[in-house]
Structure 1
Amino acid sequence: MHTPLLGQRSEVFNQADPHVVSLYVNQHVGSHCIQLPKASRPLAHLSHRTFAELDLCRITYGAPVRVVSPALERCFHLQVLLAGHCLWRRGREEHFLAPGELLLINPDEPVDLTYSADCEKFIVKIPVRLLTDLCEQQRWTVPSPGVRFLQNRYRLDDVQGLVSLLCMICHEAEEFEPQPVVQAHYTQIIASKLLCLIKTNVQQTQQAAPTLNFQRVAEYIERHLRQALDTDTLASLVNVSPRTLYGLFERNAQASPADYIRQRRLARVHACLSDPQCTVRSLSELAMDYGFMHLGRFSDQYRKQFGQLPSETLRQRRCDVAKNG
């Protein structure tokens, strides 16, 4: 299975001692221990990237290796088998995984995996909090034990688009300068994809609360456009985290809270400049009333939103007043 899931730009170890590689994996991907044949002298390879809250890892040990762990604790592991084969043990059950198969391991599940010498796998470490926050944001019902995947094994054909999305994330991680907002957006998509495509214990009943929450925050913003507004204050209005608030604005306004506030302030300024009944002593004073301290930047943002400079809007208003007597 050939996929562009991390390349040389992300290489951390090449032809290295597997125990050294295992120590690195313990620090970044998940607590475990490895068991290798005593007579072997394997050479391991590992590529790794941190992407927002995710850890991306591509690894091969170069020898048959057994990986065991009592549990992953506060993270899920998504593993994609790229080459070779893997024996997965769960209690008395044994299952062989082949290239093109996906394994999802819940945080409280023991790990017992034996990889062939030619086995190569791609791992995504997903914090529990990422899925929990998304469920809270969507107002989905999560049982008391927390989010759990009810089926562990999948063919990649069963989860359409997931590998393409992972390839896109790897490309973003390797090719571009880190952009926290973009990375956070991608991680939200990964979380949504997993919860919607894969069987879980989450009850995904849509409720009206998110829309009502956004309306409540939007109304508050309209009433306080002249005042300082921050995400912590807005999030506390509807008892959600700032991260959840960001999701509300992405879905309902296709903008971040800060961008939405700026758009609404510009709209209010535009309305004042267009309305003959609204007293405008000076453009700079009006701009500063709505928090625009950098007048050059204000004019540029105004022009991008309305297609003309604020002075042109005011001039048009005066012409209209003169024309109408």
Structure 2
Amino acid sequence: MMQAQLLSHRSRVFDHADPYAVSDYVNQHVGNHCLQMPRAGRPLASLDHRKFASLDLCRISYGASVRVMSHALDSIYHLQVLLRGNCLWRGHGQEHYFAPGELLLINPDDPVDLTYSSDCEKFILKVPTRLLESVCEEQRWRYPGQGIRFLENRYQLNELEGFVGLLAMICQEAEATEQIPRVQEHYAQIIVSKMLGLMKTNVIRTDPCSPSATFEALVDYIACNLKQDIDSEELARQARMSLRSLYGLFERNAGDTPKNYIRQKKLERIHANLSDPTCNVRNVTEVAMDYGFLHLGRFSDSYRKQFGELPSDTLKRRH
């Protein structure tokens, strides 16, 4: 079924070994789980494994019908490709028998419940969450506040254009005689970019040349948090970009620095509150301090420069 070679005997760690020994190794390198074995027989397991930049590549067979269960994987994603046999997946009140050529994607908050057939062999790619975060930052894609989530967990490999070939290239590079860390890092970034591009996720991908969506998201964030002490570092974290990129974004879209933009929006909100008879404002000092203006003299001066009158005049006019 699989034309591409995903790891070879060059990466062999266990050959015809005790499944529990293989399971212990998997717990250390690939992801925590518990293994339920059949009571009868002496199955023999095999495992190939390579570290590759921040990824782990693994090819595994247990040699028996085993059940693998675990709580959520927390800080890792599992991409599992079925090579031989079948594997029953249970989750979200559903179940599915995976066949060769199918791919299962497990999110960090998904519990794992898999039953392997006795002839089942699969390839597993372990991806840390931080790598997906860094790719989102690099591509200037909007990173979801609750973390990246793959919205579908089942794929046919032949529907993911170029993906199997890329996996095979990574495996070949992982088994190369000379290991070049920088090359491995590039490949790891490429495979994750490909995953985010080909598979359905909650990441909002926008044209990297047009950062308007990122700026709009920051504008919304500022508007919702005007009473908070928002600094540039916080905005950069929200946008998953460097401070330098953040300043460039505001210069292009607002013609101002993030700090000045936030101050202007705070003043506009205060002006709206002072002008609106239905808004419960007892005095200027209270509303100014609500929005973080602790030096009232400087606040009044900034307000007058922006609106042509003192805040107390705006308040008097509403009555």
**Interval of TM-score (by shorter of Structure 1 and Structure 2):** 0.5 to 0.7
The offset of 1:141, in angstroms, is 1.3
1:94 aligns with 2:95: yes
Determine the structure 2 residue equivalent to 1:114.
Answer: 115
CA distance in 2, matches of 1:17, 1:25: 13
Tell me which residue corresponds to 1:164: 165
Q: Distance in 2 between matches of 1:188 and 1:176?
A: 21
Q: Is the 8 A contact 1:139 1:209 kept in 2?
A: no
| Residues 19-45 of structure 1 deviation map (CA, whole Å, 9 limit, x = unaligned) | 000000000000101101111210000
SS of equivalent residue, structure 1 residue 175 = coil
- Looking at structure 1, the residues matched to 61 and 200 of structure 2 have their Cα atoms a distance apart, in angstroms, of 29
1:72 equivalent to 2:67? Answer no
Q: Is 1:33 the counterpart of 2:68 in the alignment?
A: no
- Identity fraction in percent: 62
CA drift at 1:209: 7.2
Which residue in 2 is equivalent to 1:190? 191
**Deviations for 1:108-143, whole angstroms, at most 9, x for unmatched residues?**
000000000000000000010111111112221122
Question: Which amino acid in structure 1 is aligned with residue 159 of structure 2?
Answer: D
How far 1:91 sits from its partner (Å)?
3.5
CA gap of 1:209–1:129, structure 2 versus 1, over 3 A, is farther
Per-residue deviation, residues 73-128 of structure 1 (Å, max 9, x unmatched): 10100000000001000132111110000000000000000000000000000010
The aligned runs of 1:139-150 (5 Å cut-off) are 139-150=140-151
Q: Which amino acid aligns with 2:63?
A: G
Instruction: Name the SS for the 1:104 alignment partner.
Output: strand
Return the letter of the residue paired with 1:60. S
Partner of 1:7: 8
Structure 2 counterpart of 1:175: 176
3-state SS of paired residue (2:57): strand
Q: Tell me how large the CA RMSD over aligned residues is.
A: 1.8
- SS of the aligned residue for 1:206 comes to coil
The residue type equivalent to 2:198 in the other structure is L
| Unaligned segments of structure 1, at least 5 residues | 211-234, 241-325
AA of the residue aligned to 1:21? V
Partner of 1:82: 83
2:246 and 2:203 mapped to 1: Cα distance? 21
Alignment of 1:1-325 (within 5 A): 1-2=1-2, 3-208=4-209, 237-238=244-245
Q: State the partner residue of 1:259.
A: none
- For the 8 Å contact 1:76–1:125, the answer to whether it is kept is yes
Q: What is the TM-score of this pair, normalised by structure 2?
A: 0.65
Q: 1:21·1:44 contact (CA, 8 Å) conserved in 2?
A: yes
SS at match of 2:175: helix
Cα distance in 2, alignment partners of residues 91 and 200 from structure 1: 17
For residues 147 and 243 of structure 2, what CA distance do their matches in structure 1 show? 24
Q: Distance in 2 between matches of 1:117 and 1:193?
A: 32
